[in-house]
Structure formats: C-alpha cells, structure tokens
Structure 1
C-alpha cells in the first residue's frame, strides 16, 4: 500500500466534551496487511456525546488512540471508501459502513474478511467490544442504498439501542413496573424505544419527561401516553410501581425522581448522558447514594448476545431490520418528519454541532450529517 496523504482530525478535550481541537497530522506509515479508508460522511447525535461522557468507563476512548492523554477521538458512525488496500478480498473503491473516528482518513488492519465485510484487528482493538470493530461491505448489506445512507447512519446506531432496550425491559417483565418514566424523551434514541414499546400489548404506561422547549415536539410524536416537563415531575401520582429509564444522566433529576416516587421506584435504568458529561463512575456513585434502587447501566451488546443465543443471529437481525424499517419510514417521511436531515461540510462545522449537542441547544428535529473532507478548517 502506498504512503497515505495527511489526516485531518477532530479531537475532544476530555475536560470539556463540547470543545474541539482540529489538527492535521502526518499519516501513519503504511504496513503490510492494512487498508486506508477515506471517511466520506458521518452522523452526529447526542449518542456521540454519551460515547465521550462514558469514554473512560466503557473504553470508548480506546478504539481510536490519539497520542494525547488529555484528548480523545469521539467515535461516530458513518461511511468510508477504501483508498488503498494491501488485503486480499478488499479492493480500492469499495464502500463500508461502521464505527470511525472524526477524521478525514484512517488506516485499519482487517481480519476475518468475508463477503459481508471485515473486523479491524489492530492489536489495541482486540480486547474491546467486537460489535464496534465490525465493518459492513455496503454491497452485501440488505438494507443499504445510496439514497438512504444519511438516514441509515443517523438511525441505525441509535435504533439498535432503542430496539434492544425495549426488548430488555419487556424481557425482564418491566422489573415489576406498571409505569415507565423516560427522561430526555425528545432524544432520538429515547423516542425510538418508545416507538418499539408503544405497540406492545400489556405494556406499562409510558411517560415522557422533557424540557418546556421540547414539549410540543415530544407530544406531536404521539408515542408517549403522557408528556410531562421536568418542572411538572411532582404532578405525576406516585401511585404505582415505576421504572425510571434515564437518557439524560442528570444527577439532580435522578435525585428528584427517587425522592418523588420513593418506595414505588422499582428500577433505575441508566441508558444515556444527554444532560450530564460527568464520568460514569461518578454518576453511578451519586445514584447509589440515593434511597431506592441504585442505577444500573444498560449496555446493548449484553442483551444482543442473549437474544442471539435465544433466537439465533438470523432471527435477531430479521426482527431488528423489520422494526428499523418501520421506524425509519415513520421518522423521515411525510410533510412534518420527526427527523429533518441536515448536511454540513467540514470538521469546523462538526465542532459547532458537537457544541450545540453538548449544551442541549440543538434542534431535536435535526439529523446532523457531516461530510468531513470539505472545508476541514480549524476552529
């Protein structure tokens, strides 16, 4: 493989997850058995802020080392094209979907190459969760189409969590709850879970918690039985067993939920961190000090492994693809879609989107897609 051109990358200061450092560095030396990919486009959502917030505890920072101890690579989902290859079965010009750093290019060491795709088997990635190391060859992906790439990379990484979370709650009998209270209810992963839950028979009542600014949008989704703003929390009757499904990670809100529902709170499920970028261990420790159930971190790969064993991989994929197609259609079509896809160009634009997502000022309807190579100027 020939030497690669320079790489422009966006790094996240671990002390300020809404900030960004954009720099251009020499490409790593080309090694036998490696490929070079050019990142063509990627999605940015609050899910990426969660990756950063949980970067140490869940080892998300470890996937793409930066060489800077105080800065990490915020992972994103996107599409990349092979620029050069020294690997049999992977040709220049092929397109792959997967988990990438925010950078114009990346060098990988493929292994387990099949018609479906490959796994990056760089030594530092071998101990990490294998689902994030898998790259799908677009021509072998039954749900891929060029026209739907933006929708796919926005929705698929979020909706896999939504789908598996809904299954996890049902699989555990709702933890004995007759009500689910879902925070950050306007977030795409949260209402994706509500979408999966809404049509289930004998499900608990679904209450969406959101800000006053996002109340109208959240009600218009039509997925929650009730939408309640954060300042109205005390108006929810504490009259039945309740499971808290937390996409916000807000310590103050968690304390209010525990205090209000008291012994009626039967389970506290921590899914995301839209409103809290403190380290995960600090959030879990603060929650454990509260009366009632300690928060339990939901990790989708664990439930995926369980269902692959229960159903088989093919059946899991069939069920997921069916619901994903239904959700993608509901979310992106019609005169007033839930997700309005917005393309931006360059890593400078990516930095501005990250700041808005981190600060909670981003429009919940916006589905942000970044084309990194164009206008990758420092900010």
Structure 2
C-alpha cells in the first residue's frame, strides 16, 4: 500500500457532475512526517446526497478548502479556480504517526477525502475526551469544528474496518460483521444531526433547548428568538419531507421513540414522492405516508392539532415550501425547518441559491439547521462528557440495526466510487440503497 500510485477524484467546480480520476505518481515518495501529525489514507467511505451539497456550496462554506488539490496534481487539474476535491464521511487508516497516543495501524472516523492519496494532518488530542482528536493544520483553520473532529480507533479495535467485503469466500459472514462499519460511514453523521435536533433543538426539557440555526459556534450565545415554545412538538403534526432520506428517517425514529401522550407529536407524517413511497412505508417509522402530489389540507381531518411543523430534509423543487405556504392560513403558528437539500444540477445551482437569497420572508416562521453550531450549544447545556456519552448511546442503537429496508451496498476501489458518484448525479440510486466503499 505504501508504494502504490495514489489516485484522487477531482471535480469541475462549476459542473460537479463532471469528475476525473487522476493518478499522482509524482507524489511518491512521501516526505517525512512533521511532529504532532498523522499520515492518513481513506479506507472506508460512503457517498450520499451530502457530497453534492458540499460541492454546490463549496465556495460559500469553504468546503473546497478542506482537502485542497495536491501539489503533485498535473495540468490542467492543478488550477484550483476551476477544479477541486470534495469530502465524504468514513474511516481513514493511520499509515504513519508522530503522535504517541495514536500508533500506526489505528483508524480515525470523520471527514475524509475521496482518493487513495494519504494526507498529512497536524492534530491535538482532545483535552478531556480520550477517543477524539482535533485537526490543527493551518489550511483547516476556517473549517467548521464538526469537520475537524475525528474519533480514534486503536489497532486492537479495528479488525472489521480492515476487512474487504468483495473478495472473500466468506462474503456473507464478513458483510454481517462489517454492518456497523457501513452504518458508521453512511449514517453516523446523519444521526448526529438528527440527535441534536430531537434531543436539543426540539427537546421537551426547557433547560436543554438550543437554537437549531447558524450562529456563534463557541457555545457562549444562542438565538434569543428560539424558545421552549418553538421546541415543543407535543400535540403537533410533524410533516417530514424527503422522509426516505437517511437523516429524515433517523429523525423520525428518534421522535417516534418518545412516549405517546407526553412529548411525542400527535402524528409523524412522511410526505414523499412516488419514487420513494414503498421504501418510506416499509421503514415503519411514520404514522402515515402521503404523496407530495396530495392536497396539503387533506392530511388534516380532525383539525385538533395545536400547530404544524414542517421539516424539509431535501424535498425536490421547493415542494415543502409550497405546502407550508398553503397550510399557513389555516395554521398561522406553522414552523418550517430546513435541514437538507436535493441534488441540484450544477447548471442551475447558483441561480437557485441566488433566488432563495433574494426571496421575501415567508409568512411562516422558518429556521435552518446547522449541526456544527448546534453542537457547542448542546455541550454547553449539559456538559461535554455527558453530551458525547448520550450521542454514543443513541448512535449504538442505529449502528447495530440501521434503518429497516435500507441495504448497505459495498463497492471496492476508486473506480467503484466514481460509478457511484455518476449514479447519484443521474438520480439512479434507490432510497433503499446505502453506497459504501472500501479503498
């Protein structure tokens, strides 16, 4: 592995559907590793709609800067004004280390580049959480904290991470053993967002309520416009758009686990396209499932709801906003919460974002979820050790079982990664599929 010619995915920034697999022979040999550093090579990653969001908003939110073009990139791809690299979530193997507590052979889970080229990162151990490390490299200083935090897995705990699922005669047994690894890559960051929303932004405990949106990320201040009343979902109907998305399904599962008659919503309704209907119904996470083509008011029969809360996890063509606009005259206290976005064609992405920025304020109250800013507030509310313990306990349930009907489909190598990227761009990936790759 150390002498292999590394390859990386490079995207056209203006047309991120267009990708190239670039070999970097001149990257060898690798230079000596600086002090307090790790040399990491991506080992397992997952592709989701999020990857395209990182590309679409890469200039605005500095996502192109997290994994810059290598110095060995050949022309014309070395022009960073035109080309760039986007990241995924998964595991990276520690090839070399100058950090005594993280030996060679360990793995880190977090935000990893798409490619087999190792990256050298300066890091510092978390002062109080033993299994976490923070990236301190200069080129990452402007990245949101959530992207600079990695979880450590020492060599004694990583046997299933190193297993390849596609070449063994024991493929069925290995797939079972690596289910947790696949879920880590495909679902863990989605769970973190859903957990922050359910346990804090929409908590029934006033002392835990934090604002869901962007704002100061030091945990020292909060949005005064967000209150316990905004967080209260009891006696409300919750409409989840893109209910087949991984984050939407995880949020529905967490809400559905609340006790009926106490802090559970009256109803959790999945509003879906016909393409995803069968999968959404099969998850068993929703009290009812309706099509986006339905008349919005047809969802409400007894009209006893205190209010309606719309969660948009990436519904297409502004369908969630249209529903919210239709429902607001009947439910003036309607709350709209934007969480994700659909894959946008690069040809229209900039115009869509520009139009959204110029749009007049809607008649309903709207908020936009930002997990990176929510987390410091949640940590401030209950303390860091308790926060991470709670998130870990919640995640372990989904790590074992995942989402009903969601199958993790493993690929191997960067060739398969590029095929998966193309399938996502063409809209061919089924809602019942999770795309996971071993490099």
- Pairwise TM-score range, normalised by the shorter structure: 0.7 to 0.9
The aligned counterpart of 1:151 is: 183
1:256 equivalent to 2:258? Answer: no
The aligned counterpart of 2:174 is: none
The aligned counterpart of 1:169 is: 202
- Residue 111 of structure 1 contacts residue 119 of structure 1 at CA under 8 Å; is this kept in 2? yes
What TM-score comes out, normalization by structure 1 length? 0.85
CA pair 166-356 structure 1, distance change in 2 beyond 3 A: farther
CA distance in 2, matches of 1:85, 1:350: 27
Q: Equivalent of 2:339, from 271, 285, 289? A: 271
Q: Equivalent of 2:393, from 322, 325, 331? A: 322
- 1:198-347 residue pairs with structure 2 within 5 A? 198-200=256-258, 201-204=262-265, 205-234=267-296, 235-237=298-300, 239=303, 240=305, 241-248=307-314, 250-263=316-329, 264=331, 266-276=334-344, 278-279=349-350, 281-282=353-354, 284-285=356-357, 288-289=359-360, 291-293=362-364, 295-331=366-402, 337-347=404-414
Q: Deviations over 1:23-57 (max 9, x none)?
A: 12232754523432221111112232232233233
The aligned counterpart of 2:75 is: none
- Residue 202 of structure 2 contacts residue 230 of structure 2 at CA under 8 Å; is this kept in 1? yes
CA distance in 1, matches of 2:367, 2:283: 28
CA distance in 1, matches of 2:423, 2:18: 10
The aligned counterpart of 2:242 is: 184
The aligned counterpart of 2:147 is: 132
CA pair 162-60 structure 1, distance change in 2 beyond 3 A: same
CA distance in 2, matches of 1:127, 1:304: 17
Q: Deviations over 1:128-166 (max 9, x none)?
A: 222311222213999996443222222211111111122
Instruction: Structure 2 unaligned segments of length 5 or more: list them.
Output: 70-77, 162-176, 204-208, 210-227
- Residue 206 of structure 1 contacts residue 226 of structure 1 at CA under 8 Å; is this kept in 2? yes
Describe the SS at the equivalent of 2:268: strand
CA distance in 2, matches of 1:318, 1:32: 33
RMSD: 2.9
- Residue 94 of structure 2 contacts residue 103 of structure 2 at CA under 8 Å; is this kept in 1? yes
CA distance in 1, matches of 2:95, 2:398: 33
CA pair 174-216 structure 1, distance change in 2 beyond 3 A: farther
- Residue 145 of structure 2 contacts residue 372 of structure 2 at CA under 8 Å; is this kept in 1? no
Q: Equivalent of 2:34, from 17, 32, 35? A: 32
Deviation of the 1:316 alpha carbon? 1.4
- Residue 239 of structure 2 contacts residue 270 of structure 2 at CA under 8 Å; is this kept in 1? yes
The aligned counterpart of 2:61 is: 58
Deviation of the 1:113 alpha carbon? 3.2
Describe the SS at the equivalent of 1:18: strand
CA pair 351-174 structure 1, distance change in 2 beyond 3 A: farther
Between 1:255-264 and 1:343-352, the stretch displaced more is 255-264
- Residue 53 of structure 1 contacts residue 273 of structure 1 at CA under 8 Å; is this kept in 2? no
CA distance in 2, matches of 1:155, 1:223: 16
Between 1:307-316 and 1:45-54, the stretch displaced more is 45-54
Q: Equivalent of 1:99, from 71, 94, 111? A: 111
Q: Equivalent of 1:362, from 429, 435, 438? A: 429
CA distance in 2, matches of 1:19, 1:222: 37
Deviation of the 1:106 alpha carbon? 2.7
CA distance in 1, matches of 2:336, 2:155: 39
Between 1:337-346 and 1:45-54, the stretch displaced more is 45-54
The aligned counterpart of 1:82 is: 94
- Residue 202 of structure 2 contacts residue 232 of structure 2 at CA under 8 Å; is this kept in 1? no
CA pair 237-311 structure 1, distance change in 2 beyond 3 A: same
CA distance in 2, matches of 1:349, 1:62: 25
Instruction: Structure 1 unaligned segments of length 5 or more: list them.
Output: 373-379
